[in-house]
Every structure is written in C-alpha cells, then in structure tokens.
A and B are shown apart, each in its own frame.
Chain A
Amino acid sequence: MADKVLMKGNEAIAEAAIKAGCRHYFGYPITPQTEVAAYMAKRMPKIGGTFLQAESEIAAINMVYGVASAGLRAMTSSSSPGISLKGEGISYLAGADLPALVVNVQRGGPGLGGIQPSQSDYFQATRGGGHGDYHLIVLAPSSVQEMAELTVKGFELADKYRMTAMILADGTMGQMMEPVDLNFDIKPAPEKPWATTGTKMQRKHNVVNSLSLIPEELEKLNIARFERYDLVKKNETMYEEYMMDDAEIAIAAFGIAARVSKNAVKEARKRGIKAGLIRPITLWPFPDAPFKKAAEHVKEFISVELSMGQMIEDVRLASECKVKVSLCNRVGGMIPSPEQVLDAIVKASK
C-alpha cells in the first residue's frame, strides 16, 4: 500500500495528466466531472501550469486546439452535454491532425438528460461525434487506477499518431475512490516539427489547418489519415479477457459494466455455468480479434451496457454474426446489477 493513495477517478485523471506533462487544462463546470477542473485549479498554479475556466465548452476545446497547435500537451474534460458542444472543435482537431486529450465522464442523455452514470455516448465517441471522416482513440477505464494509466496512455498515443484521444468514463468512474499508484514511467513527448512555434526566420512557416478546397487533395489527406488509423488498429488495440478459455457464454462489457459483469461471471462459474468476459479497453480501435476467436466456441455473446445497445453493434461486427448477440442493459443513469447480468447468463445457458 506504501505508494497508494485513495483518490476519486476524476482527481486521478487530473493528477495523471499533470504527471504526463500536461500543463494546460481548460474546462467548464458540469456534473459529474467537475472535480477534474477543481483539482486542476488547485494544482496548476503551483507548478507553473495553466488552469482556465473557459466561458463555454466550445471555448475550452478551442483553447486546447491552440495549445495543441503550439506542440504542447493539452486537455479538456466534460460530461456528455458538454462533449456535444466540443464536437465541432474535436472535428477540427481531427482535421488538423492535432494531438490532444478529451475526457468524457458520461451521464444519461439525450439532451440535458440526468447526471447519473451512463455509457450512451459510445456511438458519439467511437464513430467520431463531429462531422467528417475521422476517429478518436477511445479509452475506456474500468478502475480508478486505469483512469490514471489511460490518461497517460492517451497523451502518448495522441502524440504518437497525431490524433485526439478520448477517455470515455462514466459518473461512477469519476466519482468513486479507489487506491491508486501514481508512479508511472512517463515517456517524454516526441518532437513536433509541425507545431506553430514561430519560424524564427529559419524555416518555412508551419500551418495548422483543416481547410482543403481542392477535392483531390482533401481526398488524399483523408486516405493518409486512415492509413495512420490502420496503424493504430494494428498496434494499439487493448482488451482484457476473463475466464474466456472455455467460455460458452461471453459477456462484452467496458467500464463500470465490466466490473458488474465480473461479479456475475464469478457467480455463474460457481453455479457451473461456463461464463467469461471480454472487456474492450480501447473502444476505438475495437478489439475484433477476441470476439472473432470466441465466436468459435461460445453459444452466445451478451453485451452489457448502460445504453439502449450501442457497443452491441461492434460485438456483432467483430463476431461476424456467427452466434447470437443479446443485450443486457439499464439506461437513464441506472446500472445493471450483478443479479441482472447473472440472470441473462443463466437464460443464455439454457
């Protein structure tokens, strides 16, 4: 326990970002992620960093755009309605190939919705969210430790691939406290020769831009971007498998849903049902491989989600619809109980 501290997920994200060298944070109050901003407000002035409460989420994401253009690690955080506002800026970040970190501590929607946990921004996060052809690297933490670790990872991947990374958490992940070990190895940020740091009259000017009026050129840019995305798919896909070796029923779940599901899988095993769990850690790129493999031996996949069924589409695609995929869900801020998931497992096993 020596090095572990008890922290809220939101605070762990903030501290991990600072450890990763992020010195520029821009946010706007919204429940249930405001602790990120509150933590940054306290810490940044002490370490010579910038905390700025922007006038809106739209301003905050564009402040991130500015810092990222200057070649520095920048982040913003919000919750669902605020992420929608950031959608424009996120699309521009993608169009200008800028690395940045965006945190979404999801709450129930649509519209103003509620403030309790949800996973209903899965489509928004994994399909882009803003306009145009692009992807974010979407990381789904399932513990406070992962909130911290994936924040560091998010900055590293963002820089490596010149992409915007998103932490897709939810209200429980943000609000819960667990022991965290914050001693990570931090890789230094790579050189960013494309950044607008001033020509010093010694190089051709750098331009950060997403405008491209000649269709032939815009097409090339899009294709090149997706070639980079292919590398991300190849190199960076992350997932956890739990009791999958001989599983006949496989749960697919991320974040808080995966934790609830783990309890259910344990209980099912006690009852002699061969259940297992595949937990995607990257939601984009989605881990197709374990689902394809599992489709060879499972009878049914159950997608456990805090949404009306969004990730289930990726489970179907990844398993090529070879076996039945069913949904076990709660929405609107409700969380499935281990008993509900266990019932679904028992039903599927019959």
Chain B
Amino acid sequence: MSTRQFLFSGFGGQGILFAGKFIAYKGLIENKEVSWLPSYGPEMRGGTASCGVIISDEPVGSPIVNNPDVLVAMNLPSLDRFESKVAPGGIIFLDSSLIERKVERTDVTVFALPATQMASDNGFPTLANMILVGKILKELGEYNDESLKAALAKVISAKHADMMEVNRKAIDLGANS
C-alpha cells in the first residue's frame, strides 16, 4: 500500500469521527503518514457527519478525500451521497441494519454488516462504529493486535479507561464476522 484514503460517514452521534480518529492513530502508531479531516457544520445533532482519513507511506498531500478507496457508510444518506465517489476497485463497508438498499456499483467490493443490530444485541449499542472498524481491519489485512491496542489507548481518554475492553470486544466482533 502506498496511499489509502478512507471516508467515514453517517449521522452525528454514531461515532464517525471517533472511528476515523482510531484508524488515523493506528496508522500513526505503525509509522505511517496520516491525516484526518472532519466535515464541520452548524447542526449539533441529527446532521450528517463525515471525516476523511488518509494513511500513506509518503507525506500526505491534500488531506481532502474526494474519491475514497474505502467508504464506510453508516446510514442511507451517506451511501446515496458517496457511492458514486468511491474509487474504482474500492471497498464499501456499510451498516445493513440502517441501509436496506444494495450498492449499485459493480466495480467495488461491498461488505455489509448489520453493525447497529449486532451492537445492541451484544450490549454495547453505541459501538456499531467499532464493529465496522473491526471488519475493515480484518478485510484489509490490517488487524494487528499490538497497534490496535495502542491506538485504542490513544483515542480513549484515561478518564474513560473502562471503555477500552468493550471497544476491543466490538472490534473483535466485527473482525470475526
């Protein structure tokens, strides 16, 4: 891999920015060049949230992700908006609990996971994002016990250290599904 561009998108409150930050930190820990750029807007709640993450072996040029190699869509508006933007040969990870329609593109790989349903079935309803993250790491061949542990320690503040274990559980649930 020389450069991989991710776009995470969903509703505000789904942990979109957090998932992106985790992926960026994991890249940093693995000595990659990284950037993380969120969308920002006036709506506090219920609006669309997205962030672009770039992981690269070279210094990151533009941090703006227009044509992601990996799209993570956690709601229907996100898939509607970004499906056509995915780079040819790219991968779409989607939360099939919230997105009923199928991906129309035939030149991309699709992984559909009922992440929201799985999260609530397993007693961590706010961690659908991390279930998808687990799936992404697995499918990209980036599941690395050591660096993902270290990345979790970076994104979860000491105050919420009790959240480490459950985040790890969510990642593993996604990775093993």
Complex CA–CA separation, A172 to B62 (angstroms)? 10
Complex CA–CA separation, A288 to B62 (angstroms)? 25
Smallest beta-carbon distance A33→chain B, Å = 11
Asked whether B25 is an interface residue with its Cβ less than 8 Å from the other chain, the reply is yes
Q: Which of A11-19, A197-205, A206-214, A259-267 contacts B (4 or more CB under 8 A)?
A: A259-267
Smallest beta-carbon distance B88→chain A, Å = 15
Complex CA–CA separation, A172 to B65 (angstroms)? 12
Asked whether A175 is an interface residue with its Cβ less than 8 Å from the other chain, the reply is yes
Which of A171, A256, A259, A335 has the most B CB atoms < 10 Å from its CB? A259
Asked whether B8 is an interface residue with its Cβ less than 8 Å from the other chain, the reply is no
Known: A1-B31, A259-B63, A266-B61. A175 touches B40 (CB 8 A): yes
Complex CA–CA separation, A115 to B37 (angstroms)? 15
The interface residues of chain A lying within 8 Å CB-to-CB of B42 are 31, 115
- Mask of B60-74 contacts with A, CB within 8 angstroms, 1/0: 111110100000000
The answer on a CB contact under 8 Å between A178 and B34 is: yes
The interface residues of chain A lying within 8 Å CB-to-CB of B75 are none
How many contacts A-B (CB < 8 Å)?
62
Asked whether A337 is an interface residue with its Cβ less than 8 Å from the other chain, the reply is yes
Within 8 Å by CB of A6, from B25, B40, B41, B61, lies: B25
Complex CA–CA separation, A179 to B36 (angstroms)? 10
- Mask of B23-45 contacts with A, CB within 8 angstroms, 1/0: 01100110101111110111000
Interface size range on B against A:
20 to 34
Complex CA–CA separation, A335 to B39 (angstroms)? 13
Residues 52 to 94 of chain B near chain A (Cβ within 8 Å): 60-64, 66
Within 8 Å by CB of B28, from A4, A32, A263, lies: A4
Which chain A residue has the least Cβ–Cβ distance from B63? Answer: A176
Known: A1-B29, A32-B40. A179 touches B34 (CB 8 A): yes
Asked whether A85 is an interface residue with its Cβ less than 8 Å from the other chain, the reply is no
The interface residues of chain B lying within 8 Å CB-to-CB of A171 are 40
The interface residues of chain B lying within 8 Å CB-to-CB of A177 are 21, 24, 35-37
Which of A177, A178, A262, A338 has the most B CB atoms < 10 Å from its CB? A177
Which of A6, A31, A179 has the most B CB atoms < 10 Å from its CB? A6
Asked whether B4 is an interface residue with its Cβ less than 8 Å from the other chain, the reply is no
Which chain A residue has the least Cβ–Cβ distance from B66? Answer: A337
The answer on a CB contact under 8 Å between A176 and B37 is: yes
Smallest beta-carbon distance A155→chain B, Å = 26
Complex CA–CA separation, A262 to B33 (angstroms)? 16
The interface residues of chain A lying within 8 Å CB-to-CB of B40 are 31-32, 115, 171, 175
The answer on a CB contact under 8 Å between B66 and A175 is: no
The interface residues of chain B lying within 8 Å CB-to-CB of A176 are 35-38, 63
Within 8 Å by CB of B36, from A1, A6, A256, A266, lies: A6
Give the A-binding residues of B (Cβ under 8 A): 21, 24-25, 28-29, 31, 33-38, 40-42, 60-64, 66, 154
Give the B-binding residues of A (Cβ under 8 A): 1, 4, 6, 31-32, 115, 171-172, 175-179, 256, 259-260, 262-263, 266, 335, 337-338
9 pairs across A/B with beta carbons < 8 Å?
A1-B28, A6-B24, A32-B40, A175-B37, A176-B63, A177-B24, A177-B37, A256-B64, A259-B60
